[in-house]
Amino acid sequence: MIGRMEQPQIPEKHDPRVLGLKAGLLALWAAVSFGVCFFARDLQFMVGSWPFGYWMAAQGSVLIFIAILVVYATAMKRLAPADSLPEPGSADA
């Protein structure tokens, strides 16, 4: 027996502010990860007693990545507070 055909699911629309945030943070990540390596010979100034390229490879890129995660989590908490908390009185709570 052939069942009735259901309506296709409408894709969820994403907030343009969230997409812009993701694009900006991804661009920052790419600039830090690839830009520093690509321009390593031009970045010969010293940070403390170490060359900047060595410092970015050893610690800087990881610290920038952690900062990106903190910015993203903070911004998402501010942009979408209704998505993170269940509604009072709902059956899912």
Q: pLDDT for 47-80, tens place per residue?
A: 788 787 777 777 777 888 999 999 999 998 888 7
Q: pTM score, two decimals?
A: 0.62
Lowest-confidence region among 15-19, 63-67, 87-91: 87-91
Quote the tokens at residue 60: 């800087």
Adjacent-strand bridge partners of 54: none
> Which of 31, 54, 30, 50 lies closest to 41 in space, CA to CA?
54
Tokens 């027996």 — which residue? 1
Phi, psi of 80 (to 5 degrees): -130, 65
60 sits in which H/E element: none
How many percent of the chain have pLDDT more than 90? 22
